[in-house]
Amino acid sequence: MSATTDSRPLSVPRPERATPADRPERAAASTPRLPATVGRPLLAVFRREFASYFATPLAATFLVIFLFLTGAFTFQLGGLYERGQADLRPFFGYLPWLYLFLVPAIAMRLWAEERRIGTVELLVTLPVRLSDLVLGKFLAAWAFACVALALTFPLWMTVSYLGDPDHGVILASYLGAALMAGSFLAVGSCLSALSKNQVVAFVVCVVVCLGLLLSGFPLVLGFLSGWAPEFVVDSVAGLSLLTHFEALQRGVVDLRDVLYFLAVMAGALFLNVLVLDWKKAD
Amino acid sequence: MTAIGAPRTSSSSTHQRVRAAVVVPREFTNRPVFNRSAPMDTILDARGLRKRFGPILAVDGIDLTVAPGEVVGFLGPNGAGKSTTMKLVTGFLEPDAGSVSICGHDLRRAPLLAKRQLGYLPEGAPGYPDMTVREFLRFLADVRGLSGGALRERMDTVVEAVHLESVMHQSIETLSKGFRRRVGIAQALLHDPRLLILDEPTDGLDPNQKHEVRELVRSLAADKAVVLSTHILE
């Protein structure tokens, strides 16, 4: 701090009346100035964001297209009936590729829109931590994606009616799908903070998510294996979202797979806070 | 940055110019404005603020002290650094040098406490287009921790003060520029802050509304400080 603050009341040794000036936030926040607001700003941001999907045609458009495409992929391309097996593998097999385009469409507006219309200036000057803003908006988008995913329940009902599917496998696959949507959204939210332009945010997000999906595939590994050391190739292969998603699709909820998705989300959101702080005023 | 116009490279001239931009339109107040001695009850105390955007030195060495009951007007041409100064003082931008404290809370060390005392109308009065005025104000009150009776009382007070009764259920995108500005002023007043920073509060308002905003600013309690800006001399 500059020298000027040294002459402020704080630096007087043991002041008679302790002013809250410049004391650590924690101590001063405990004074009954306002009711306890822990978590409240986050909740308010979450509610506003979640409601905003349904206040605009975004929710309706997204849900209709998502459900139509899941149906088309599962029945037409996946051949759910023709396979003669009571499971949802065709559905979950195509889901990552559907998510690749649809989830960035939700994520692209998260921060790009706030920056474009200038409301980011209001949000950042509120007495709220940046991390609460980022988390509140991310959780709202994730909740919306989970609503869309949950609305595919008729598929589950269909296979239950037609046969006797392994419900544990389907449940684990749904968990994996929700975690994958969350990972894409976290990455997209971070990239959305980088640009005011939603289209740029969308395209970059699709490319990065594609990279995350494919990092275990011959396309990426073949490119690396020619020159990179083996441990690099192995760790890149381990980064693949698809590998972990497929592990969950087998019906085994391995903590490592779940932690992998949570780590991707946490990392992307941490970067999101940094990017927002850096780019908010551009 | 919108507030930055002609590039300035000479730091000394900028220093002079931005200083000169800090003047008080006579109609706002007849109280003295500059209080360089920074008394104990200072609401806003900014020292040595400096901000550079690439080659452009937008703000160079601003000291600003505002005491309770004072109204400070930033007057200057577009690009003088008015908005940038406000963004520094509200914590939206980080200064390259200098410090800001609001009601004794340093903006860098205790940002949440400092920002609780702050009501800010950003340039252009941004708002969420799809929200109604009521939803928008409720959201900001919610974030700030207002609830119950206190919330109702404050909502009624600010809605009456800026005459929003007729548009409360309209979405913000359907509002005229003047109403949008008034919604921005309402959200800045909502939590009864001690420091009000209003960036061009009368821009886009008709003469009657301008007069009302001035009356509103004048009528604010004696324990508040107001910083506002305008680029039009009137």
How many CB pairs lie under 8 A apart between chains A and B? 120
Instruction: Name which CATH class applies to B1-117+225-234.
Output: alpha beta
pLDDT at A48 over 90: yes
Q: State the smallest CA–CA distance between residue B136 and chain A in angstroms.
A: 9
- Answer whether B142 sits within 8 Å of A126, measured CB to CB: no
Give CA angle at A275 (A271, A277), nearest 5°: 120
Question: CA separation (Å) from B1 to A280, B57, B78?
Answer: 11, 12, 11
Mean pLDDT of A112-141: 93
State phi, psi for B195 to the nearest 5 degrees.
Answer: -120, 125
pLDDT (0 to 100) of residue A87: 80
When scoring A2, A42, A43, A126 by the number of chain B Cβ atoms within 10 A, the one with the most, hence best to mutate, is A126
Least confident range from A181-190, A242-251, B31-40: namely B31-40
Chain B CB contacts of A12 under 8 Å are: none
What would the DSSP string read from start to end of B60-109?
Answer: EEEEEEE-TT-EEEEE--TTBSHHHHHHHHTTSS--SEEEEEETTEETTT
CB contact under 8 A, B93 and A1: no
Give the separation between CA B5 and CA A173, rounded to whole angstroms.
Answer: 56
> CB-side exposure of B142: number of CA atoms within 13 Å?
16
Q: What is the pLDDT of residues A196-214, one digit of tens each?
A: 888 999 999 999 998 888 8
Could you tell me which residues come within 8 angstroms of residue B217 by beta carbon, excluding any fewer than 6 positions away?
B28, B71, B196, B198, B201, B226, B228
B-proximal residues of A, 54-93, CB under 8 Å? 55-56
Could A25 and B118 be called an inter-chain contact, meaning their C-beta atoms sit closer than 8 Å? Answer: no
Amino acid of residue A42: L
- In the block, tokens 């994520």 appear at A107
Nearest CA to CA, how far is A121 from chain B (Å)? 6
Residue A14 reports pLDDT greater than 70: no
- Residue A29's pLDDT band (cuts 50, 70, 90): very low
Residues of B in contact with A110 (CB under 8 A): none
Q: What is the pLDDT along chain B (234 residues), one digit of tens a residue?
A: 333 333 333 333 333 233 334 444 334 443 444 444 445 578 999 998 999 888 888 888 888 999 888 888 888 877 788 889 999 999 999 999 999 999 989 998 899 999 999 999 998 899 999 999 999 999 999 999 888 888 999 999 999 988 899 999 999 999 988 899 999 999 999 999 999 999 988 887 888 888 888 888 888 777 889 998 886 655
Q: Quote ipTM for the complex.
A: 0.81
- Mean pLDDT on A187-199: 91
The two three-digit tokens of residue A182, written as one number: 């969350």
Q: Write out B144-210 in H/E/C secondary structure.
A: CCCCHHHHHHHHHHHHHHCCCHHHCCCEHHHCCHHHHHHHHHHHHHCCCCCEEEEECCCCCCCHHHH
Q: For position A30, what pLDDT does the model report?
A: 42
> Nearest Cβ partner of A34 from B105, B135, B145?
B145
Size of chain B, expressed as the number of residues it contains: 234
Rounded alpha-carbon distances, angstroms, from residue A194 to A116, A143, A183, B199: 12, 23, 17, 26
Q: How far is A15 from chain B (nearest CA, A)?
A: 14
Is A124 at the interface with chain B, CB within 8 A? yes
d(CA B22, CA A180): 53
Beta carbons of A4 and B130 less than 8 Å apart = no
Nearest CA in chain A to B102: A21
Q: The tokens of B175 are what?
A: 């509002």
User: Is residue A266 classed as helix, strand or coil in its secondary structure?
Assistant: helix
Stretch among A121-125, A139-143, A165-169, A190-194 having the lowest mean pLDDT:
A165-169
pLDDT > 90 fraction of chain A, expressed in percent and rounded = 46
Average pLDDT, chain A: 82
Sketch the domain layout of chain B as residue ranges: 1-117+225-234
How many other CB atoms sit within 10 Å of the CB of residue A6?
9
- CB-CB under 8 Å, A5 with B105: no
Residue B44 pairs with which residues in a beta bridge? B66, B102
Q: How far is B60 from chain A (nearest CA, A)?
A: 16
Judged by a CB distance cut-off of 8 A, whether residue B106 touches chain A is yes
Pick from A9, A22, A34: which is nearest to B109 by CB? A22
User: Per-residue DSSP letters for A76-135?
Assistant: IIS-HHHHT-SS-HHHHHHHHHHHHHHHHHHHTHHHHHHHHHTHHHHHHTSSS-HHHHHH
pLDDT score for B89: 93
Contact: A41, B143; criterion CB under 8 Å? yes
Nearest to B105 among A21, A122, A126 (CB): A21
One-letter amino acid of B108: R
Contact B113 A25 (CB under 8 A): yes
> What whole-number distance in Å separates Cα of residue A190 and Cα of residue B192?
34
pLDDT average, residue stretch A106-113? 91
Q: Do the chains contact at A25 and B110, CB–CB below 8 Å? A: yes
Say whether B101 and A21 touch across the interface (CB within 8 A).
Answer: yes
pLDDT digits (tens, 9 = 90+) for A58-86: 899 999 999 999 988 888 887 777 777 77
Is residue A126 within 8 A of residue B144, CB to CB? The reply is yes
What does the DSSP 8-state code read for residue B119?
A: E
Other C-beta atoms closer than 10 Å to the C-beta of A47 total: 15
- Give the tokens for residue A243: 């590998």
Between chains, do A125 and B112 touch, taking CB under 8 Å as contact? Answer: no
Under an 8 A CB cutoff, do A119 and B115 touch? no
Test mutation, B143, B171, B181, chain A, max A CBs within 10 A: B143
Residue B126: which region, alpha, beta or left (left: phi > 0; alpha: psi -120 to 50)? Answer: beta
